[in-house]
Structure 1
Amino acid sequence: MNSLNNLWSDDVLMKAAGLPQQELPAACLYIVGVPIGNMGDITLRALWVLSRADVIAAEDTRETRKLLERFGIDARLISVREHNERHGAEQIEALLAEGKRVAMVTDAGTPAVSDPGARVVEYLHGIGRRVIPVPGPSAAVTALSAAGLLGAGFTFIGFLPPQPKARRQAVEALRARREPFVLYEAPHRILALLEDIAEVLSPERRVVVARELTKKFETISAMNAGDLGKFASTHDPRGEYVVLVDEEPPKEEGLTAEAEAWLRDLAPEMPASKLAAIAARRTGMPRQEIYAWLIHERDAAGSSSD
């Protein structure tokens, strides 16, 4: 058991929350959510569990040490990150077999949600070990609460593939989703992601770009997908990003008069297949329907000139 700072052993808030009376089983893995930026977001229960864990498995022991020192917690740390998760799982199992309490944390947020931890949890479930969640901050839910998405429910996607071609294909696959979805992205790839979204999704689909959540320079920007290109060209990328895409807005049946007019203007300038693909991205209509309309218009124009 750790040597505890009185801050957490006798604190009135801990007693008010009833934590001293709550069960804290040994030989269990505790999945502990930690702040995504603002240290004030740590929960009382997270502090209670971390201060009483025999060992803390951390994504980056240096970052976790800073958090623990801030709150006066002294603990043994081991490294469990993306590239050593299987070994980490076996190391944790050995500790649990000794009757130890082990807590798992990532650098920010909740383990196993676009962060290391899922393989460890799956391994321990497979051998019958108990895993106890200790809820904490999540960038996805934090962003959703301030995004004002109107669609019911959401799909959490997380990070898309970093390679340009694979990322573009992933965005094209997401276009078919009618419900809201949530993406994560790193600063050095965010502009490319926003440009892909602007080119692929319906221009009127609502998108919210959130960065540096809970931190000093937090920004939450809402716009239509059609405006993302302009936003990306003037945006200075920094910090971690959450990109939220709202539900697909209802579509009008068929092409509008305005869309038909510009299609007629552009038809002589490019092949019907290419124009149909561009118009499908801009209108949200199926490419095949637009292509069929272009061919019909071309045939009709040819017949009238005979």
Structure 2
Amino acid sequence: MSPDLPPTPERGEASGVLVLAGTPIGQVDDAPPRLAAELAAADVVAAEDTRRLRRLVGDLDITLSGRVVSYFEGNEAARTPALVEALQAGERVVLVTDAGMPSVSDPGYRLVAAAVAAGVRVTAVPGPSAVLTALALSGLPVDRFCFEGFLPRKAGERARRLAELADEPRTMVFFEAPHRTAAALEALAEAFGADRAGVVCRELTKTYEEVRRGGLAELAAWAADGVRGEVTLVVAGAEPVAADTDPTSLRAAVEALVGEGMRTKEAIVEVARRAGLPKREVYQVVHVDG
């Protein structure tokens, strides 16, 4: 028995529904039953890769009754207005990407934002997530984490991004292309330290799944010979460092950030964060005691 779907608007109603449908990151058996039902019932299926969609449909043993349109990074800006018009005409539009949840480092954000702005209902079919799967398998703290997507391709931009994250206390999750994994790990080791704990998750849920743990420099050396398949990186957050809370040091730290171009208010917030103090205490030191 197929699962019940949320009510589908009749054609001509004021608004349809945009469905973000999570797809398997590996084995098709991981697909939720509702994915098949949504695809079969859709008026429009917007797919990142229509060939992969056809394979998925075959694996799920269903038939599409709606029309299929491609929706990928190169055409999403141009395709979004027409899809919003379809939604406003009462159609049910299902968005799928190659693997995982649409809009999470995949096409979809632009359409979601446009649908929300147009007052269209947006819902989702929960599905497998490389981010959460890698995080759960990593063995690193999961109580607090952040997802940073893909690192910049250019070395200079990548180094600047990582410098901003060097003091991040939360566990970090990154996506990376296999041919850039070694360079990314080298840059991570340089920015965060050779011994910072990291995990490379490769081909998650697939036949050749591999989860390799170690220090960042060790992982970079391992990756130097080449990495194949889909890659997700998980990196431990920075260890808390005892900050110097002496008023003179706090005032100097604020002045140093202001000298680098930061506004005083922002510098106070940043110094308070680094010192683990309420910002009002640093404000007191700078504006009252100083």
Query: Does the CA contact (< 8 Å) of 1:205 and 1:249 recur in 2?
Result: no
Q: How many Å apart are 1:252 and its aligned residue?
A: 8.2
- What amino acid is the match of 1:56? V
Counterpart position of 1:175: 166
Q: Is 1:115 paired with 2:139?
A: no
Cα separation, 2, equivalents of 1:253 and 1:84:
49
Q: Is 1:240 paired with 2:230?
A: yes
Instruction: From the superposition, tell whether residues 203 and 78 of structure 1 become closer, same or farther in structure 2 (CA, over 3 Å).
Output: same
Query: Does the CA contact (< 8 Å) of 2:25 and 2:100 recur in 1?
Result: yes
Q: 2:143 aligns with which of 147, 152, 157?
A: 152
Instruction: From the superposition, tell whether residues 176 and 44 of structure 1 become closer, same or farther in structure 2 (CA, over 3 Å).
Output: same
Match runs of 1:1-306 below 5 Å: 11=1, 14=2, 19-20=3-4, 22-26=5-9, 27-75=16-64, 76-150=67-141, 152-233=143-224, 235-250=225-240
Query: Does the CA contact (< 8 Å) of 1:195 and 1:232 recur in 2?
Result: no
Q: TM-score, normalised by structure 1?
A: 0.73
Q: TM-score, normalised by structure 2?
A: 0.77
> Aligned pairs, how many?
236
Query: Does the CA contact (< 8 Å) of 2:130 and 2:204 recur in 1?
Result: yes
- What amino acid is the match of 1:188? H
Q: How many Å apart are 1:253 and its aligned residue?
A: 9.2
Q: How many Å apart are 1:157 and its aligned residue?
A: 0.4
Q: How many Å apart are 1:72 and its aligned residue?
A: 2.3
Cα separation, 1, equivalents of 2:121 and 2:142:
36
SS at match of 2:99: coil
Moved more, 205-214 or 92-101: 92-101
Moved over 4 A (4+): 250-254
Structure 1 or 2, whichever has the larger Rg, is 1
Q: How many Å apart are 1:178 and its aligned residue?
A: 1.5
Instruction: From the superposition, tell whether residues 148 and 125 of structure 1 become closer, same or farther in structure 2 (CA, over 3 Å).
Output: same
Q: How many Å apart are 1:74 and its aligned residue?
A: 2.3
Cα separation, 2, equivalents of 1:229 and 1:45:
40
Q: How many Å apart are 1:41 and its aligned residue?
A: 0.8
Cα separation, 1, equivalents of 2:141 and 2:73:
35
Cα separation, 1, equivalents of 2:142 and 2:94:
36
**How far does the alpha carbon of each residue in 1:42-74 deviate from its partner, in whole angstroms, 9 at most, with x for none?**
001111111111110001111111101222222
SS at match of 1:181: strand
Counterpart position of 2:268: none
RMSD of equivalent CA atoms:
1.9
Cα separation, 2, equivalents of 1:141 and 1:170:
22
Query: Does the CA contact (< 8 Å) of 1:198 and 1:228 recur in 2?
Result: no
Structure 1 gap segments, 5+ residues each:
1-10, 255-306
Q: How many Å apart are 1:89 and its aligned residue?
A: 1.6
Cα separation, 2, equivalents of 1:105 and 1:42:
12
Q: How many Å apart are 1:137 and its aligned residue?
A: 1.1
SS at match of 1:172: helix
Cα separation, 1, equivalents of 2:121 and 2:145:
29
- What amino acid is the match of 1:119? R
Q: How many Å apart are 1:88 and its aligned residue?
A: 1.8
SS at match of 1:146: helix
Cα separation, 1, equivalents of 2:84 and 2:26:
30
Query: Does the CA contact (< 8 Å) of 2:189 and 2:195 recur in 1?
Result: no
